[in-house]
Structure 1
Amino acid sequence: MDLKDIQNLIKFVAKSGASEVKLETEDVKITIKTGSDDKQETTTYVQQIPVGAPVAQPAAPAPAAQPTVAETTTATTTAEDSKYITIKSPIIGTLYRKPSPDKPVFVEVGQTIKEGDVLCIIEAMKLFNEIESEVSGKIVKVLVDDSSPVEFDQPLFLVDPS
């Protein structure tokens, strides 16, 4: 159900004089409540219901595809990043780039690291786990901000091994 269908449904309910209409399909649940006649108020609640498998929606025909600037940049970035080693998060938690708020960060972009150097700390269940480098090289890119949540196997750093 697209936005135009929902708008048409709202207009239909408003004209019908019904005070409340509920519509529930496989992937959308809609409740439309109208106020009294003197207020002319309409309240609509739209709730997406998660489904196990994606429902195939007919797609609008796309114009002849020419790569946009974002797609070209992404392709170039991916090609450049392929020569680097990605250091990924071994656990879920909150990443900290500093040992404490008043200390400098463990590693900066351009800094040379060696195997065993501490790159960051990930807090998981009130335990602070030091994440050590398993490779030697130069930090090319930091992919995660300080004090941000990270997922298992999420890329954290790009390292140039040369």
Structure 2
Amino acid sequence: MTHPSNQAVAQNVPLSVWRNPWHFMAFGFGSGTLPKAPGTWGSLVAIPFMPLWQALPGWGYWLMLGVTMLFGFWLCGKVADDLGVHDHEGIVWDEMVGMWITLWLVPHGWQWLLVGFLLFRFFDILKPWPIRWVDRHVHGGFGIMLDDVLAGVCAWLAMQVVVWGWHWV
């Protein structure tokens, strides 16, 4: 017998995620369909991309951020419209981009990925001002993306302080 909460999650996952490539991408390559904490899973899915992104020159990483963010405005808006919702919890492309922002110019190493993950999740879940205001008042693909972009920027600033402090130790 299936647990009732798992049935609710399964009913909340649109089947289009497995048929439509745009939905599959927006749902973090399927990670947004997992039953608990889809934003956390989407953030984790962003991490395996880091060796590729960190191999780019600084301007290339910056360009990748711009392209994935602009693409995300369209992608998240399209998928939310397709599903007839404001911001489906399974849409996690925004978390992925937020993680990539957080980890820009961060030293290589699993410990930095872990710190970045924790900082991004902290800002994304807590949503201090102005992130919470954006989350509540800005709609469409732009709004879906913008609160996570801002969480990524806040986490990036915190990461830079941690990295800077670590070099002084």
Task: Provide TM-score, normalisation by structure 2.
Answer: 0.21
Higher Cα Rg: structure 1 or 2? 1
More helix by share: 2
Task: Provide TM-score, normalisation by structure 1.
Answer: 0.22
More strand by share: 1
Q: Greater relative contact order (Cα 8 A, min sep 6): structure 1 or 2?
A: 2
